[in-house]
Amino acid sequence: MAPSQHPHASAGSLQTRLERGETSRSVWQIGARVALFGMIVNLIFAMAKILGGFFGHAYVLIADGIESALDVGSSFVIWGGLKVASRPPDATHPYGHGKAEPIAAVIVAVGVLAAAVGLAIQSVREIFLPHHGPAPYTLGILIVVIVVKEFLFRYVNRIGRDVESTAVQTDAWHHRSDALTSAAAFIGISVALIGGKRWQSADDWAALFACAVIATNGVRLLRPAFYEIMDTAPRAKFVRSICQAARSVPGVVEVEKCRARKMGLDFYVDLHVGVDGKMSVHEGHAIAHRVKSAIQQGDSRVADVLVHIEPAKL
């Protein structure tokens, strides 16, 4: 029996696509607001850290400020990636523009790694150069940054998990990275203030530690983005739910070769469904129609389902 699938021109399919398009736009709007808010916060903190570090003789604070400035560019890249990913499929991109989201995440992660290397080199140089000890007021700046950034991480990461957006979760970990580097800066400056002249380079060592934290987070951000670009299979729980929805359709005897991949905010599914080999092509087509509807109704993130009808092995 020839493979069959849900007719795209049907009213049900059109309604599903319209709802999915509305969902994608809604997710992009949420992600865009989060990215824009992150840009504003990072810009304010970057200016405060760099100026505070310059006048307060704290290189670790300057390094932290530069990292925050890079986050402004990162948030802009995330915003652009989500905007492109939300575009509907067209003639040249029949599967949509979802890959723009993990590509944006890769760009951001590479930028984080590059910043870590550059700041590490400068931190090592500062360790061997004589300079003034840091000013006490720089600690106040860091306390505010740590509190606000940790709050932002928890808030943005929760949104990223809810919409299953790699880019939004990447932006969240930028906030956590900033909180960690600011905590390292706080410790380094505190040691330099308490230890006196002999420990004036403590803030430079703290900057070096902050670079290691930044680099670690860069690697952490790269992994899920590369997995998505390489069409790595989604979580087993998602695949099981797809198979369960297909098996619930009357006439389906077995489900095998269920494959799925994530494209930005959507999922594309390809599965083989076994039916009674004696049924007509028309009946098989109707079952494929119902299987696709059942899967998409069970999970609105499924953009399309390719159903292959085969005779079951009875």
pLDDT digits (tens, 9 = 90+) for 219-264: 877 888 888 888 787 888 888 899 999 999 999 999 988 888 887 7
Task: Please give the pLDDT value at position 286.
Answer: 92
Distance of alpha carbon 168 from alpha carbon 105, whole angstroms: 9
Work out the average pLDDT over 98-115.
83
Residue 291 has pLDDT above 90, yes or no: yes
CA-nearest of 219, 157, 153 to 182 is 153
Contact 270, 259 (CB under 8 A): yes
State whether 29 and 171 are in the same domain: yes
Residue 63 lies in a domain: yes
Report pLDDT digits (tens) over 123-162: 777 777 666 667 788 888 889 989 998 898 888 888 877 7
State whether 203 and 102 are in the same domain: yes
State whether 137 and 23 are in the same domain: yes
Residue 26 has pLDDT above 80, yes or no: no
Contact 176, 213 (CB under 8 A): no
Residue 306 lies in a domain: yes
Task: Please give the pLDDT value at position 19.
Answer: 47
Report pLDDT digits (tens) over 200-212: 667 677 778 778 8
Of 195, 214, 229, the domain-final residue: 229
Give the tokens for residue 23. Answer: 């969902």
Of 198, 229, 260, the domain-final residue: 229
Q: In 230-280, which residue ranges form alpha helices assigned H by DSSP?
A: 236-247
> How many Cβ atoms from other residues are within 10 Å of residue 46's Cβ?
20
Sheet with 302-311, strands from edge to edge, namely: 254-263, 266-275, 302-311
State whether 176 and 59 are in the same domain: yes
Domain count, the chain: 2
State whether 53 and 159 are in the same domain: yes
CA-nearest of 75, 72, 33 to 50 is 72
pTM of the predicted model over 0.75: no
Task: Please give the pLDDT value at position 1.
Answer: 43
Work out the average pLDDT over 24-42.
72
Of 229, 252, 272, the domain-final residue: 229
State whether 92 and 160 are in the same domain: yes
Residue 274 lies in a domain: yes
Token look-up 């934290």 returns 213
Residue 295 or residue 68, greater confidence:
295
Residue 23 or residue 311, greater confidence:
311
Segment of 154-168, 222-236, 271-285, 300-314 carrying the highest mean pLDDT: 271-285
State whether 65 and 142 are in the same domain: yes
Task: Please give the pLDDT value at position 42.
Answer: 82
Q: Please, which pLDDT band fits residue 292 given cuts at 50, 70 and 90? A: very high
State whether 250 and 120 are in the same domain: no
CA-nearest of 239, 228, 237, 292 to 262 is 228
Residue 14 has pLDDT above 60, yes or no: no
Residue 264 or residue 48, greater confidence:
48
Q: Please, which pLDDT band fits residue 7 given cuts at 50, 70 and 90? A: very low
State whether 133 and 275 are in the same domain: no
Task: Please give the pLDDT value at position 65.
Answer: 80
State whether 208 and 242 are in the same domain: no
Radius of gyration over every alpha carbon of the chain, rounded to an integer in angstroms: 26
Contact 99, 263 (CB under 8 A): yes
> Counting beta carbons within 10 angstroms of the beta carbon of residue 27, is it exposed (0 to 12), middle (13 to 18) or buried (19 or more)?
buried
> Counting beta carbons within 10 angstroms of the beta carbon of residue 80, is it exposed (0 to 12), middle (13 to 18) or buried (19 or more)?
middle
Q: What CATH number did the domain enclosing 75 receive? A: 1.20.1510.10
Contact 265, 163 (CB under 8 A): yes
Work out the average pLDDT over 60-83.
76
Residue 1 lies in a domain: no
Domain membership of residue 282 as a residue range: 236-311
Task: Please give the pLDDT value at position 290.
Answer: 93
State whether 90 and 155 are in the same domain: yes
Contact 210, 119 (CB under 8 A): yes
Task: Please give the pLDDT value at position 133.
Answer: 65
Task: Please give the pLDDT value at position 57.
Answer: 73
Q: Which long-range contacts (CB under 8 A, 24 or more apart) does 254-260 make?
A: 254/312, 254/313, 257/308, 259/233, 260/233, 260/234
Residue 301 lies in a domain: yes
Residue 2 lies in a domain: no
State whether 245 and 224 are in the same domain: no
Residue 9 has pLDDT above 70, yes or no: no
